[in-house]
Amino acid sequence: MSNKINTVLFDLDGTLIDTNELIISSFLHTLENYYPGEYGREEVLPFMGPSLKETFGSINPAACDEMIRTYREYNLAHHDLLVKEFEGVYESVRTLHENRMKLAIVTTKLSDVVTMGLKLTKLDEFFPVVVAIDHVTNPKPDPEPVLKALDLLGASSANAIMVGDNHHDILSGKNAGTKTAGVAWSAKGREHLSRYEPDYMLERMPDLLSIVGV
């Protein structure tokens, strides 16, 4: 069987759409409520990628659910104001779609917020499959979300690549047996991603097209 890539799985936040400001401001708003003056931008950057349960549970297990609610209320209220598309994303995804690539979103966001982001950036028409955190038991870096997306697409890990801005994306892809690509525009920086040895590092999203051969 040929190992030519015919399936591309994308993380959403920080990979296809620029939600960095939205996420950072949502964390700062929430943490300021509970720990006034204790958290700045640098302190919340490590929270980008893991699930909210993992992050807030590590800070304050007793108030975790309440903190998640505070975060989500702010996040939804400011979503359309702060979310932008990364340069070259729409054109690249459209080209993949036109070349009959199997495409899916694999994210640690809730599915309703994923839908908002995809509609806002007009990417929704290209993704028949979305695997969000409310669709799985074990989020990234566990292989479950990637394997679920592959199953829904009728695709094989040997012919797939997972693209993301966080080490959780790279590890989830590796754990599921796919190729992996990091994005150099990650808020955590390319050095951080490089330590997890993705197969490829994209400087711009159009770089992906030559990797998959379209």
Rounded-to-integer distance, Cα 146 and Cα 149, Å: 5
199 catalytic, yes or no? no
For 58, the token pair is 């590590």
Counted domains in the chain: 2
**Structural contact between residues 182 and 198, judged by C-beta atoms closer than 8 angstroms:** yes
Does some domain include residue 135? yes
Is there a domain that residue 41 lies in? yes
Query: Is the domain of 114 the same as that of 194?
Result: yes
1 in a domain, yes or no? no
Full residue range of the structural domain in which residue 112 is found = 7-18+84-212
Residues 101 and 195 placed together within one structural domain of the fold: yes
d(CA 122, CA 159): 27
**Which of the residues 11, 13, 18, 169 is marked catalytic?**
11
- For 175, phi then psi, to 5°, come to -65, -25
Residues 12, 44, single domain; the answer is no
152-202 pLDDT, tens per residue? 999 999 999 999 999 999 999 999 999 999 999 998 889 999 999 999 999
- pLDDT value of position 2: 58
Which tens digit of pLDDT belongs to each residue from 61-87?
Answer: 999 999 999 999 999 999 999 999 899
Sorted by sequence, the CB contacts under 8 Å of residue 10 that are 6+ apart come out as: 16, 93, 103, 104, 105, 106, 163, 164
> What stretches of the chain adopt beta strand conformation (E)?
7-10, 17-18, 84-85, 102-106, 129-131, 160-164, 179-183, 200-202
User: Residue 93 region, left (φ>0) first, then alpha (ψ -120 to 50), else beta?
Assistant: alpha
Express each pLDDT in 116-158 by its tens digit. Answer: 999 999 999 999 999 999 999 999 999 999 999 999 999 999 9
Say yes or no: 132 and 31 in one domain: no
Q: Which amino acid is at 67?
A: M
Residue 75 sits in a domain whose CATH number is 1.10.150
Q: Is residue 2 part of a domain?
A: no
pLDDT at 1 over 50: no
Tell me whether residue 52 is in a domain.
Answer: yes
Phi first, then psi, for residue 56 (nearest 5°) are -70, -30
Its pTM stands at: 0.91
Asked if 40 and 106 sit in the same domain, the reply is no
Any domain includes 77: yes
What's the CATH number where 111 sits? 3.40.50.1000
Q: For residues 52 and 77, state if they share a domain.
A: yes
What phi and psi values does residue 116 have, to the nearest 5 degrees?
Answer: -60, -45
Q: Decide if 124 is inside a domain.
A: yes
Q: Domain for residue 37, yes or no?
A: yes
Please tell me whether residues 114 and 197 are part of one structural domain: yes
Together in a domain, 31 and 14: no
pLDDT at 189: 87
| 159 lies in the same domain as 68 | no
